[in-house]
Amino acid sequence: MSMEELTPIFILGPTGCGKSQLAVELAERMGCAEIVSADAYQVYRDMPILTAAPRAGELERVPHHLIGFLETCENNDAAAHAHRAEQVIAEIQTRGNRPIVTGGSGLYVKFISHGISPAPPSDAALRAKLSALPLQELVARLKEADPEGAAHTNLQNPRYVARNLEIVMAGVKPLSHWKKNWQHAPAGPGFILTRETPELDERIAQRAHSMIEDGVVDEVRALGELSATASKTLGLNEVQSFIAGEVTRDELEQRLTLITRQYAKRQRTWLRRESWLISVDARHAPVERVLNALFRDNRT
C-alpha cells in the first residue's frame, strides 16, 4: 500500500457509544490495521475498570497501542500523547498496516488529527491565580479579552476556560492565532459513532453498574500515588467517596452514571463542531458504512 492508503482512520464518539468495539471490528475486517488510543486516562495500567479500557479479549483480537503503559504517579498531557501517537502511527505504517485512532478525549484527538497547537507553554503561577477565580469571573474575563475564542470554548468547564484565558493572557494574542494550524486538513478520514440519547444513557447506566460489579472499588482502593493527570480520571472522586463511607453503593452507581452522561454531553458538543467527521449510526451496520465510505474515498 502507498502511504496515502495508510493514513490514519479516526473512530470517535461519546463515551459508551461503542467506538472501541467498532474500531476492533473495523480492524479485523481490514485485516491489516492496528488501533491507537487517543484516551487521556486509559494510558494508566492500574485503572482499566475505571477508565473502561478495552478488555483482554479485544486486546487479543487486534494490536492496541498507548493503553496501560503508564504508572498512575506519572503525568500525561495532550502534547506528550500526540508525540507518542505520531511515533506509533509511523511504526504501524512501516509494517504496512493502517492505524485506527480511537478515543473520546477532544484535545488528544485534535493534536493527533490536526497537529499540536503552538500555544504558549503553561504558566504555573498564572494558572494557579486563574484557577482560584470563580467560573463566572473567568468567563467574563475571557469574553472581554477574546470574544471569538470564548464563543468556541466550553464555558461550563472551569479548566478549559482558565486554560484558554491563560493562553490569551500569556500569548497576548487571541486563541484563533495559536490554533491556526488546526485549520489544516486532518491527518486522515474520521467518523463519529452516534446513538440516540436515551439509548446512550442506558448504555452509560449499564456501564456504571458493570464497573462496580467488576471491582472498580477494589481497583481504586489499591491505587498508590496519583499524578495531577491521573487524579482527574472520571469517576475517581466518586469511588473515593464511597470508600470513605460518604455514599452508599446505590448512590455511587447513580453518581457514576450522572457524571458520565454529563461528560458524554460535552463530548457530543465538541464532536458536532468537527465538520470533517462523518456520522455513522450505530444501529445500521456501522462497520459496513465506514468501509463503504473509505472505499468510495479511495475511488474518487
* pLDDT tens digit sequence for 22-48: 999 999 999 999 999 999 999 999 999
Strand pairing report for 277-281 and 190-194:
parallel
What does the pLDDT read at residue 98? 96
Question: Looking at this protein, which amino acid is placed at residue 168?
Answer: V
* pLDDT, tens only, 47-89: 999 999 999 999 999 999 999 999 999 998 888 999 999 999 9
What does the pLDDT read at residue 299? 45
Q: Is the pLDDT of residue 273 over 60?
A: yes
Structure-block grid coordinates of residue 112: 493527533
Residue % of the chain over a pLDDT of 90: 65
| Closest-CA residue to 106 (of 290, 277, 281, 280) | 277
Does the reported pTM lie above 0.75? Answer: yes
Average of per-residue pLDDT across 263-279: 91
Q: Is the pLDDT of residue 243 over 50?
A: yes
Q: Is the pLDDT of residue 161 over 70?
A: yes
| Closest-CA residue to 20 (of 46, 44, 56, 45) | 56
What does the pLDDT read at residue 4? 62
What is d(CA 130, CA 291) in angstroms, rounded to the nearest whole number?
Answer: 46
| Domain 4-116+183-299 indexed as CATH 3.40.50.300 | yes
Which of 18-32, 110-124, 167-181 shows the lowest per-residue confidence on average (mean pLDDT)?
167-181
What is d(CA 87, CA 183) in angstroms, rounded to the nearest whole number?
Answer: 23
Mean pLDDT of the chain: 89
Average of per-residue pLDDT across 117-125: 69
* pLDDT, tens only, 195-234: 999 999 999 999 999 999 999 999 999 999 999 889 999 9
Structure-block grid coordinates of residue 222: 489499591
What does the pLDDT read at residue 122? 66
Q: Is the pLDDT of residue 115 over 90?
A: no
What does the pLDDT read at residue 118? 67
What is d(CA 67, CA 54) in angstroms, rounded to the nearest whole number?
Answer: 8
Residue 85 vs residue 132, higher pLDDT? 85
